[in-house]
Amino acid sequence: MQRERGTWTPNQTTLSKAHVVMNATASSGNLYRNGLGMIASENIVSPMVQKIVASDLHGRYAEGLPGKRYYQGCNDFDTIESLGIDLAQKVFNAPFANIQSISGTVSNIAALKALAKPGDKITAVSTADGGHISHARMGAVGLRDLDLSTYPWDEERMEPDVDGACALIREVEPKVALVGQSVFLFPTPLREIADAAHEVGASVMYDGAHVLGLIAGGCFQDPLREGADLMTGSSHKTFPGPQGGFLLSSSEDESFHRRLNTAIFPGVCSSYHLHHVAGKVVALAEFEEYGSAYASDIVANAQAFGSAMAAEGFDVLAESRNYTASHQVLTRHGDTDSGAGAKAAVLLEEAGIITNMNMLPGDTKAMTPSGLRLGVQELTRVGMGKLEMQEVARLYARVLLHQEDPNVVRKDVAQLKSNFQTIRYCFNEENASGYPF
Protein backbone atom coordinates (compact mmCIF):
# COMPACT_ATOMS: atom_id res chain seq x y z
CA MET A 1 0.00 0.00 0.00
CA GLN A 2 1.43 3.35 -1.03
CA ARG A 3 1.92 5.75 1.88
CA GLU A 4 0.67 9.29 1.39
CA ARG A 5 3.56 11.71 1.22
CA GLY A 6 4.28 13.36 4.57
CA THR A 7 2.28 10.91 6.67
CA TRP A 8 3.58 8.17 8.88
CA THR A 9 2.01 5.81 11.38
CA PRO A 10 4.82 5.11 13.82
CA ASN A 11 5.88 1.74 15.07
CA GLN A 12 5.03 1.82 18.77
CA THR A 13 8.39 0.33 19.76
CA THR A 14 10.19 3.10 17.93
CA LEU A 15 7.85 5.79 19.25
CA SER A 16 8.40 4.55 22.79
CA LYS A 17 12.05 5.57 22.52
CA ALA A 18 11.02 9.16 21.91
CA HIS A 19 8.64 8.89 24.85
CA VAL A 20 11.58 7.84 27.05
CA VAL A 21 13.25 11.14 26.17
CA MET A 22 10.09 13.16 26.74
CA ASN A 23 9.45 11.50 30.09
CA ALA A 24 13.04 11.91 31.26
CA THR A 25 12.95 15.57 30.25
CA ALA A 26 9.78 16.10 32.23
CA SER A 27 11.30 14.27 35.20
CA SER A 28 14.39 16.48 35.10
CA GLY A 29 12.16 19.54 35.03
CA ASN A 30 10.27 18.27 38.06
CA LEU A 31 13.54 17.68 39.91
CA TYR A 32 14.50 21.34 39.56
CA ARG A 33 10.95 22.70 39.90
CA ASN A 34 10.58 20.99 43.27
CA GLY A 35 14.23 21.13 44.32
CA LEU A 36 17.06 23.57 44.89
CA GLY A 37 19.32 23.97 41.86
CA MET A 38 22.67 25.02 43.31
CA ILE A 39 25.21 23.98 40.68
CA ALA A 40 27.37 27.07 40.17
CA SER A 41 27.59 26.70 36.38
CA GLU A 42 23.83 26.60 35.73
CA ASN A 43 20.92 29.00 35.45
CA ILE A 44 17.42 29.24 34.02
CA VAL A 45 16.31 31.41 31.12
CA SER A 46 13.44 33.84 30.80
CA PRO A 47 10.15 33.01 29.04
CA MET A 48 11.10 35.21 26.10
CA VAL A 49 14.47 33.48 25.72
CA GLN A 50 12.72 30.11 25.92
CA LYS A 51 10.51 31.08 22.98
CA ILE A 52 13.47 32.27 20.90
CA VAL A 53 15.49 29.11 21.58
CA ALA A 54 12.54 26.97 20.42
CA SER A 55 12.01 29.06 17.26
CA ASP A 56 12.65 28.36 13.58
CA LEU A 57 16.11 29.88 13.98
CA HIS A 58 17.31 26.61 15.50
CA GLY A 59 17.82 25.02 12.07
CA ARG A 60 19.23 27.99 10.15
CA TYR A 61 22.73 28.99 9.11
CA ALA A 62 24.39 32.41 8.97
CA GLU A 63 28.14 31.93 8.58
CA GLY A 64 30.13 35.15 8.65
CA LEU A 65 29.21 38.54 10.12
CA PRO A 66 26.17 40.78 9.64
CA GLY A 67 26.10 42.00 6.04
CA LYS A 68 28.86 39.54 5.04
CA ARG A 69 27.17 36.14 4.89
CA TYR A 70 27.79 32.96 2.94
CA TYR A 71 24.05 32.20 2.81
CA GLN A 72 20.92 33.96 1.66
CA GLY A 73 17.95 34.45 3.97
CA CYS A 74 20.01 36.16 6.69
CA ASN A 75 18.64 39.71 6.63
CA ASP A 76 16.50 39.21 9.72
CA PHE A 77 19.29 37.49 11.58
CA ASP A 78 21.63 40.35 10.62
CA THR A 79 19.23 42.63 12.50
CA ILE A 80 19.36 40.32 15.52
CA GLU A 81 23.14 39.88 15.61
CA SER A 82 23.89 43.55 14.95
CA LEU A 83 21.69 44.52 17.89
CA GLY A 84 23.38 41.85 20.01
CA ILE A 85 26.87 43.14 19.24
CA ASP A 86 25.82 46.67 20.17
CA LEU A 87 24.21 45.46 23.41
CA ALA A 88 27.23 43.34 24.38
CA GLN A 89 29.57 46.27 23.78
CA LYS A 90 27.37 48.39 26.04
CA VAL A 91 26.67 45.84 28.77
CA PHE A 92 30.31 44.79 29.05
CA ASN A 93 31.76 48.24 28.20
CA ALA A 94 33.88 46.59 25.50
CA PRO A 95 35.03 48.10 22.19
CA PHE A 96 34.89 44.60 20.67
CA ALA A 97 32.28 41.88 21.14
CA ASN A 98 31.66 38.61 19.31
CA ILE A 99 28.48 36.81 20.43
CA GLN A 100 28.67 33.75 18.15
CA SER A 101 30.53 31.25 20.33
CA ILE A 102 28.50 28.19 21.33
CA SER A 103 30.10 27.83 24.79
CA GLY A 104 32.66 29.28 27.17
CA THR A 105 35.13 26.54 26.30
CA VAL A 106 34.74 27.24 22.58
CA SER A 107 35.38 30.90 23.39
CA ASN A 108 38.59 29.85 25.13
CA ILE A 109 39.73 27.73 22.18
CA ALA A 110 39.09 30.66 19.84
CA ALA A 111 40.93 33.09 22.13
CA LEU A 112 43.96 30.82 22.36
CA LYS A 113 43.90 30.36 18.59
CA ALA A 114 43.99 34.14 18.18
CA LEU A 115 46.66 34.77 20.82
CA ALA A 116 49.15 31.89 20.54
CA LYS A 117 50.67 29.31 18.24
CA PRO A 118 51.29 25.63 19.05
CA GLY A 119 54.35 25.31 21.26
CA ASP A 120 54.00 28.78 22.79
CA LYS A 121 54.14 29.15 26.57
CA ILE A 122 51.11 29.91 28.71
CA THR A 123 50.52 30.45 32.43
CA ALA A 124 47.21 29.63 34.16
CA VAL A 125 45.59 28.44 37.38
CA SER A 126 45.89 24.67 37.86
CA THR A 127 42.73 22.56 37.94
CA ALA A 128 43.70 21.41 41.45
CA ASP A 129 43.42 25.04 42.57
CA GLY A 130 40.16 25.70 40.75
CA GLY A 131 41.25 26.33 37.17
CA HIS A 132 38.88 25.21 34.46
CA ILE A 133 39.63 22.05 32.48
CA SER A 134 39.96 24.15 29.31
CA HIS A 135 42.98 25.83 30.95
CA ALA A 136 44.74 22.48 31.27
CA ARG A 137 46.54 20.02 29.04
CA MET A 138 43.39 17.88 29.02
CA GLY A 139 41.42 20.75 27.48
CA ALA A 140 41.86 23.76 25.20
CA VAL A 141 45.46 24.41 26.27
CA GLY A 142 46.41 20.88 25.23
CA LEU A 143 44.32 21.10 22.08
CA ARG A 144 46.39 24.13 21.04
CA ASP A 145 49.56 22.28 22.18
CA LEU A 146 50.66 25.09 24.49
CA ASP A 147 53.44 24.76 27.08
CA LEU A 148 51.66 25.21 30.41
CA SER A 149 53.02 26.52 33.71
CA THR A 150 50.64 27.04 36.65
CA TYR A 151 50.63 29.82 39.23
CA PRO A 152 51.39 29.24 42.90
CA TRP A 153 48.19 29.41 44.92
CA ASP A 154 47.25 31.31 48.08
CA GLU A 155 44.91 28.85 49.80
CA GLU A 156 43.84 31.25 52.56
CA ARG A 157 42.83 33.96 50.10
CA MET A 158 41.65 31.46 47.45
CA GLU A 159 43.38 33.29 44.62
CA PRO A 160 46.71 33.13 42.77
CA ASP A 161 49.64 34.11 44.98
CA VAL A 162 50.19 37.48 43.38
CA ASP A 163 53.93 37.77 44.04
CA GLY A 164 54.54 34.18 42.98
CA ALA A 165 52.37 34.56 39.87
CA CYS A 166 54.21 37.70 38.78
CA ALA A 167 57.57 36.02 39.40
CA LEU A 168 56.48 33.01 37.34
CA ILE A 169 55.38 35.21 34.45
CA ARG A 170 58.67 37.11 34.45
CA GLU A 171 60.61 33.82 34.57
CA VAL A 172 58.61 31.91 31.94
CA GLU A 173 57.83 34.86 29.63
CA PRO A 174 54.64 33.27 28.29
CA LYS A 175 52.82 34.28 25.15
CA VAL A 176 49.56 34.31 27.13
CA ALA A 177 48.92 34.90 30.83
CA LEU A 178 45.52 33.31 31.47
CA VAL A 179 43.58 34.09 34.64
CA GLY A 180 40.15 33.11 35.89
CA GLN A 181 38.82 29.91 37.40
CA SER A 182 36.00 27.44 37.61
CA VAL A 183 36.14 27.73 41.39
CA PHE A 184 35.93 31.52 41.57
CA LEU A 185 35.25 33.09 44.96
CA PHE A 186 37.12 36.40 44.71
CA PRO A 187 38.36 38.86 42.11
CA THR A 188 41.79 38.05 40.69
CA PRO A 189 44.64 40.43 41.63
CA LEU A 190 44.66 41.34 37.97
CA ARG A 191 46.45 44.68 37.75
CA GLU A 192 49.69 43.28 39.18
CA ILE A 193 49.55 40.14 37.04
CA ALA A 194 48.72 42.15 33.90
CA ASP A 195 51.59 44.54 34.54
CA ALA A 196 54.02 41.61 34.79
CA ALA A 197 52.56 39.99 31.68
CA HIS A 198 52.73 43.14 29.56
CA GLU A 199 56.27 43.73 30.81
CA VAL A 200 57.38 40.50 29.08
CA GLY A 201 55.17 41.01 26.01
CA ALA A 202 52.42 38.56 26.98
CA SER A 203 48.74 38.98 26.24
CA VAL A 204 46.40 38.81 29.22
CA MET A 205 43.35 36.59 28.82
CA TYR A 206 40.62 36.62 31.49
CA ASP A 207 38.16 33.71 31.61
CA GLY A 208 35.07 35.22 33.20
CA ALA A 209 32.74 32.30 32.46
CA HIS A 210 31.40 31.94 35.99
CA VAL A 211 31.37 35.59 37.00
CA LEU A 212 30.44 37.28 33.71
CA GLY A 213 27.06 38.46 34.99
CA LEU A 214 28.65 39.81 38.16
CA ILE A 215 31.22 41.68 36.07
CA ALA A 216 28.57 43.13 33.76
CA GLY A 217 26.48 44.05 36.79
CA GLY A 218 29.37 45.96 38.37
CA CYS A 219 29.64 43.64 41.38
CA PHE A 220 32.93 41.79 40.93
CA GLN A 221 35.85 43.34 39.06
CA ASP A 222 36.34 45.07 35.71
CA PRO A 223 38.91 42.96 33.85
CA LEU A 224 38.97 45.01 30.65
CA ARG A 225 39.89 48.10 32.69
CA GLU A 226 42.33 46.22 34.95
CA GLY A 227 44.68 45.01 32.24
CA ALA A 228 42.99 42.14 30.41
CA ASP A 229 43.42 42.31 26.64
CA LEU A 230 40.70 39.74 26.08
CA MET A 231 37.82 38.34 28.14
CA THR A 232 35.93 35.14 27.43
CA GLY A 233 32.82 33.95 29.16
CA SER A 234 29.70 31.80 29.24
CA SER A 235 26.23 33.15 28.62
CA HIS A 236 24.43 30.78 30.99
CA LYS A 237 25.86 31.07 34.51
CA THR A 238 25.71 34.35 36.42
CA PHE A 239 24.92 35.87 33.04
CA PRO A 240 21.43 34.34 32.74
CA GLY A 241 21.03 33.55 29.05
CA PRO A 242 20.93 30.41 26.92
CA GLN A 243 23.89 28.07 26.48
CA GLY A 244 26.68 29.87 24.66
CA GLY A 245 29.71 32.10 25.01
CA PHE A 246 31.16 35.56 24.50
CA LEU A 247 34.46 36.93 23.24
CA LEU A 248 35.17 40.50 24.40
CA SER A 249 38.16 42.83 24.14
CA SER A 250 39.34 46.20 25.39
CA SER A 251 41.41 46.69 22.24
CA GLU A 252 40.56 49.40 19.70
CA ASP A 253 42.81 47.72 17.10
CA GLU A 254 40.64 46.72 14.13
CA SER A 255 43.22 44.24 12.86
CA PHE A 256 43.05 42.48 16.25
CA HIS A 257 39.24 42.53 16.00
CA ARG A 258 39.47 40.78 12.62
CA ARG A 259 41.77 38.17 14.12
CA LEU A 260 39.31 37.49 16.93
CA ASN A 261 36.35 37.25 14.58
CA THR A 262 38.28 34.88 12.33
CA ALA A 263 39.21 32.75 15.34
CA ILE A 264 35.48 32.19 15.95
CA PHE A 265 34.49 31.74 12.29
CA PRO A 266 35.88 29.82 10.53
CA GLY A 267 38.23 28.99 13.40
CA VAL A 268 36.02 27.09 15.83
CA CYS A 269 32.45 27.50 14.54
CA SER A 270 30.66 26.89 11.27
CA SER A 271 27.00 27.25 12.11
CA TYR A 272 26.90 28.92 15.49
CA HIS A 273 23.40 28.02 16.66
CA LEU A 274 21.36 31.04 15.63
CA HIS A 275 18.56 30.33 18.11
CA HIS A 276 21.03 30.54 20.98
CA VAL A 277 22.62 33.69 19.61
CA ALA A 278 19.20 35.32 19.34
CA GLY A 279 18.42 34.16 22.87
CA LYS A 280 21.63 35.84 24.04
CA VAL A 281 20.46 39.09 22.48
CA VAL A 282 17.18 38.99 24.40
CA ALA A 283 19.12 38.12 27.58
CA LEU A 284 21.43 41.08 26.93
CA ALA A 285 18.43 43.39 26.65
CA GLU A 286 17.01 41.95 29.88
CA PHE A 287 20.38 42.32 31.57
CA GLU A 288 20.64 45.95 30.51
CA GLU A 289 17.40 46.52 32.44
CA TYR A 290 17.78 44.22 35.44
CA GLY A 291 21.41 43.05 35.53
CA SER A 292 22.81 45.36 38.18
CA ALA A 293 20.11 44.41 40.67
CA TYR A 294 20.47 40.72 39.86
CA ALA A 295 24.25 40.73 40.27
CA SER A 296 24.04 42.63 43.56
CA ASP A 297 21.43 40.24 44.94
CA ILE A 298 23.47 37.19 43.91
CA VAL A 299 26.54 38.36 45.82
CA ALA A 300 24.49 39.34 48.89
CA ASN A 301 22.80 35.93 48.89
CA ALA A 302 26.09 34.06 48.48
CA GLN A 303 27.63 35.87 51.42
CA ALA A 304 24.53 35.26 53.53
CA PHE A 305 24.54 31.59 52.57
CA GLY A 306 28.25 31.17 53.38
CA SER A 307 27.73 32.75 56.79
CA ALA A 308 24.64 30.63 57.45
CA MET A 309 26.45 27.42 56.48
CA ALA A 310 29.30 28.28 58.85
CA ALA A 311 26.81 29.03 61.63
CA GLU A 312 25.26 25.58 61.11
CA GLY A 313 28.69 24.03 61.69
CA PHE A 314 30.02 23.46 58.16
CA ASP A 315 33.65 24.01 57.22
CA VAL A 316 33.24 26.90 54.79
CA LEU A 317 36.38 28.06 53.03
CA ALA A 318 37.71 31.65 53.12
CA GLU A 319 36.11 32.67 56.41
CA SER A 320 38.61 35.53 56.78
CA ARG A 321 37.25 37.09 53.56
CA ASN A 322 33.54 36.70 54.39
CA TYR A 323 33.47 33.41 52.46
CA THR A 324 32.88 34.79 48.98
CA ALA A 325 32.56 37.83 46.72
CA SER A 326 30.88 35.89 43.91
CA HIS A 327 27.94 33.50 43.51
CA GLN A 328 29.94 30.55 44.85
CA VAL A 329 30.47 29.07 48.30
CA LEU A 330 32.93 26.22 48.97
CA THR A 331 32.50 23.68 51.76
CA ARG A 332 34.86 20.92 52.91
CA HIS A 333 33.30 17.67 54.11
CA GLY A 334 36.21 15.40 54.98
CA ASP A 335 39.88 14.68 54.52
CA THR A 336 41.74 15.36 51.30
CA ASP A 337 40.81 12.92 48.51
CA SER A 338 38.39 11.18 50.88
CA GLY A 339 35.44 11.35 48.50
CA ALA A 340 33.39 13.04 51.23
CA GLY A 341 32.30 15.75 48.80
CA ALA A 342 31.02 13.14 46.36
CA LYS A 343 29.09 11.33 49.10
CA ALA A 344 27.61 14.61 50.34
CA ALA A 345 26.41 15.51 46.83
CA VAL A 346 24.60 12.17 46.49
CA LEU A 347 22.83 12.55 49.85
CA LEU A 348 21.80 16.10 49.00
CA GLU A 349 20.36 15.01 45.66
CA GLU A 350 18.22 12.45 47.47
CA ALA A 351 16.85 15.41 49.43
CA GLY A 352 16.19 17.41 46.26
CA ILE A 353 19.23 19.69 46.62
CA ILE A 354 21.29 19.60 43.41
CA THR A 355 25.00 20.38 43.86
CA ASN A 356 28.33 19.20 42.53
CA MET A 357 31.33 17.67 44.22
CA ASN A 358 34.51 19.66 43.69
CA MET A 359 38.22 19.43 44.27
CA LEU A 360 39.55 21.78 46.94
CA PRO A 361 43.19 22.81 47.46
CA GLY A 362 45.07 19.63 48.39
CA ASP A 363 42.73 17.26 46.57
CA THR A 364 44.30 15.34 43.68
CA LYS A 365 41.48 13.03 42.56
CA ALA A 366 38.62 14.63 40.65
CA MET A 367 36.16 11.79 41.32
CA THR A 368 36.80 11.57 45.07
CA PRO A 369 37.20 15.17 46.22
CA SER A 370 36.57 16.53 49.69
CA GLY A 371 34.47 19.52 48.74
CA LEU A 372 31.27 20.93 47.33
CA ARG A 373 30.98 24.00 45.10
CA LEU A 374 27.64 25.69 45.70
CA GLY A 375 26.01 28.47 43.68
CA VAL A 376 23.07 30.70 44.57
CA GLN A 377 22.40 32.33 41.18
CA GLU A 378 19.40 30.14 40.28
CA LEU A 379 17.77 30.52 43.69
CA THR A 380 18.25 34.27 43.42
CA ARG A 381 16.70 34.21 39.94
CA VAL A 382 13.42 32.88 41.36
CA GLY A 383 13.29 35.44 44.16
CA MET A 384 15.00 33.91 47.18
CA GLY A 385 16.77 36.31 49.54
CA LYS A 386 18.90 36.30 52.67
CA LEU A 387 16.25 34.74 54.91
CA GLU A 388 15.83 31.86 52.49
CA MET A 389 19.60 31.36 52.44
CA GLN A 390 19.41 30.65 56.17
CA GLU A 391 16.63 28.13 55.61
CA VAL A 392 18.59 26.44 52.83
CA ALA A 393 21.62 26.14 55.11
CA ARG A 394 19.42 24.45 57.73
CA LEU A 395 18.25 21.95 55.12
CA TYR A 396 21.90 21.13 54.32
CA ALA A 397 22.60 20.63 58.02
CA ARG A 398 19.62 18.32 58.46
CA VAL A 399 20.94 16.05 55.71
CA LEU A 400 24.69 16.16 56.24
CA LEU A 401 25.23 17.04 59.92
CA HIS A 402 22.12 15.68 61.66
CA GLN A 403 21.78 12.73 59.27
CA GLU A 404 18.01 13.00 58.83
CA ASP A 405 16.36 10.81 56.24
CA PRO A 406 16.85 12.68 52.93
CA ASN A 407 13.35 11.67 51.81
CA VAL A 408 11.87 13.47 54.82
CA VAL A 409 13.96 16.57 54.16
CA ARG A 410 12.94 16.44 50.50
CA LYS A 411 9.35 17.25 51.45
CA ASP A 412 10.48 20.43 53.20
CA VAL A 413 12.71 21.32 50.26
CA ALA A 414 9.70 21.05 47.94
CA GLN A 415 7.57 23.12 50.32
CA LEU A 416 10.16 25.89 50.38
CA LYS A 417 10.62 25.83 46.62
CA SER A 418 6.88 25.89 45.95
CA ASN A 419 6.90 29.55 46.99
CA PHE A 420 9.65 30.41 44.49
CA GLN A 421 8.62 29.43 40.99
CA THR A 422 8.30 32.74 39.14
CA ILE A 423 11.39 33.79 37.23
CA ARG A 424 12.66 37.30 38.05
CA TYR A 425 15.05 39.90 36.63
CA CYS A 426 13.66 39.54 33.11
CA PHE A 427 10.80 40.54 30.81
CA ASN A 428 8.09 38.44 32.43
CA GLU A 429 4.83 40.37 32.59
CA GLU A 430 2.92 37.08 32.73
CA ASN A 431 4.79 36.01 35.90
CA ALA A 432 5.64 32.74 34.15
CA SER A 433 7.42 29.89 35.89
CA GLY A 434 11.13 29.44 35.54
CA TYR A 435 10.45 25.72 35.16
CA PRO A 436 8.24 25.08 32.10
CA PHE A 437 7.27 21.78 30.37
> Nearest-CA neighbor of 332 among 124, 155, 171?
155
Task: For residues 166 and 66, give the distance between their C-alpha atoms in angstroms, rounded to a whole number.
Answer: 41
How would you classify residue 136: left for phi > 0, otherwise alpha for psi between -120 and 50, otherwise beta? beta
| pLDDT of the residue at 7 | 67
Q: Given this model, what pLDDT does residue 435 score?
A: 87
Cα–Cα dist 240/238, whole Å = 6
d(CA 377, CA 327): 6
Distance between CA atoms of 275 and 433, rounded to whole angstroms? 21
Provide the CATH number for the domain formed by 50-286 in this structure: 3.40.640.10
Predicted confidence pLDDT, tens digits, the chain (437 residues): 566 676 678 889 989 999 999 999 999 999 999 999 999 999 999 999 999 999 999 999 999 999 999 999 999 999 999 999 999 999 999 999 999 999 999 999 999 999 999 999 999 999 988 999 899 888 899 989 999 999 999 999 999 999 999 999 999 999 999 999 999 999 999 999 999 999 999 999 999 999 999 999 999 999 999 999 999 999 999 999 999 999 999 999 999 999 999 999 999 999 899 999 999 999 999 999 999 999 999 999 999 999 999 999 999 999 999 999 999 999 999 999 999 999 999 999 999 999 999 999 889 999 999 999 999 999 999 999 999 999 999 999 999 999 999 999 999 999 999 999 999 999 998 898 888 86
pLDDT of 436: 82
Predicted pLDDT of residue 271: 87
Q: In whole angstroms, what is the distance from residue 93 CA to residue 248 CA?
A: 9
Q: What is the pLDDT of residue 2?
A: 60
Write down the pLDDT at residue 278: 98
> Strand runs (DSSP E) across 173-283, as ranges?
176-179, 203-207, 230-236, 240-249
Instruction: For the chain, give every domain's residue range.
Output: 50-286, 290-418
In angstroms, how far is the first alpha carbon of the chain from the final one?
A: 38
Distance set, CA 272 to CA 94, 98, 386 (Å): 21, 11, 39
Alpha-carbon gap, residue 64 to 319, rounded angstroms:
48
Write the DSSP assignment of 398-419 as a string of letters: HHHTS---HHHHHHHHHHHHHT
pLDDT score, position 4 = 67
Query: Which residues are within 8 A (CB) of 50 and not within 5 positions of it... i.e. 6 or more apart?
Result: 436
What values do phi and psi take at 415, rounded to 5? -65, -45
Name, in order, each residue with C-beta under 8 angstroms of 396's C-beta and a sequence gap of 6 or more. 309, 312, 314, 348, 353
User: What pLDDT is stored for residue 39 in this prediction?
Assistant: 98
Q: In what order do the strands lie in the sheet with 240-249?
A: 96-98, 240-249, 230-236, 203-207, 176-179, 121-124, 147-150
Q: Per the omega criterion (within 30 degrees of 0), is the bond before 223 cis?
A: no
**Domain 290-418 carries which CATH code?**
3.90.1150.10
d(CA 267, CA 263): 4
